[in-house]
Amino acid sequence: MARLVLFGPGYTGAHIASALQRDGWHVDAITRATPVEAVRAALVQASHVISTVPPAEDVDPVLTMFGDAIGKVPWIGYLSSTGVYGDTKGAWVDESAAPAGRRDGRIAADLAWQALGARVFRLPGIYGPGRAMFDRLKSGQAHRIDLPGQVFCRVHVEDISRGVLAAIRQGPAGVYNLTDDLPAPQNHVVEFACELLGLPLPSFRGLDELSPQARAFYGENRRVANGKAKRLLGWQPLYPTYREGLAAIFPTP
């Protein structure tokens, strides 16, 4: 039986685990509460390892604790971020670009997992059931940003699972962007979700009204290409744009 050790069974990790369990896999889900001895015992038996855990204070906690044992597992995967590309001023970027920008810890972790021979999946903003624009609109937390020309990619959580499973079936180790096909302004997503819900559009907000974290996010502008995953993994997004993804979630977000 194929055995996965999954570090970080949160929103995305749980979707990956469920997809593999439906195929008959054994999944050891590792949380902060899992004893170190139990983690090491699971790694000895593992055929695959996936980590969804981001760095903490610029240090990858999973590699710090278990990097020696993980390096002995035949197949390794790591969920990284397209944020490692930094701000491209709206230009397209692919896996050949050197990491840049403000996320030093994430970049270091990304490179460290690559050095172990991992399949590194760089992900943009993640959405899906229970984590979509519908929820933010209904809670009054959604807004439009007065920032013409700013775009970014996003990805449905199911397409992440499909990408990871595709990489397990075929494709060499390396970096893969798992993103949708349509980089778009956040305002377009808000407007489409409002249209589906029949809600009025929220007001515009300026950058000076946002938190420092949000201002840093909207200070980056990039389009991320996904052609490598399509060519080498045979992956195709089930939800190529936010429109298909939100329509599939509606009316039961």
Helical H runs in the chain? 11-22, 36-45, 61-70, 104-115, 133-138, 157-169, 186-197, 212-218, 227-233, 242-249
Taking only the tens place, the pLDDT of each residue in 1-11 is 799 999 999 99
Query: Amino acid identity, residue 227?
Result: G
* Domains, the chain: 3-249 (3.40.50.720)
Cut 0.85: pTM above it:
yes
Crossing angle of helices 157-169 and 11-22, in 10° steps, is: 50
Q: Identify any residues that bridge with 177 across adjacent strands, giving them in sequence order.
A: 122
pLDDT at 253: 41
Taking only the tens place, the pLDDT of each residue in 9-56 is 999 999 999 999 999 999 999 999 999 999 999 999 999 999 999 999
CA dist., res. 78 & res. 58, Å (int): 16
pLDDT at 103: 80
Per-residue CA distances from 90 to 65, 185, 186, 192, 218 (Å): 38, 11, 14, 22, 12
237 with 177: CB under 8 angstroms? no
φ, ψ dihedrals at 104, nearest 5°: -60, -45
Pairing of strands 125-127, 144-145: unpaired
| Lowest pLDDT segment from 37-51, 69-83, 115-129, 198-212 | 198-212
Average the pLDDT over 156-180 and give the result. Answer: 98
pLDDT at 90: 95
pLDDT at 68: 97
Taking only the tens place, the pLDDT of each residue in 108-147 is 999 999 999 999 999 999 999 999 999 889 888 888 988 8
Q: What is the DSSP string of 148-193?
A: TT--B-EEEHHHHHHHHHHHHHS--SEEEE---S--B-HHHHHHHH
Query: Amino acid identity, residue 111?
Result: L
130: left (phi over 0), alpha (psi -120 to 50) or beta: left
pLDDT at 251: 67
Give the residue, 207 or 106, on which the prediction is more confident.
106
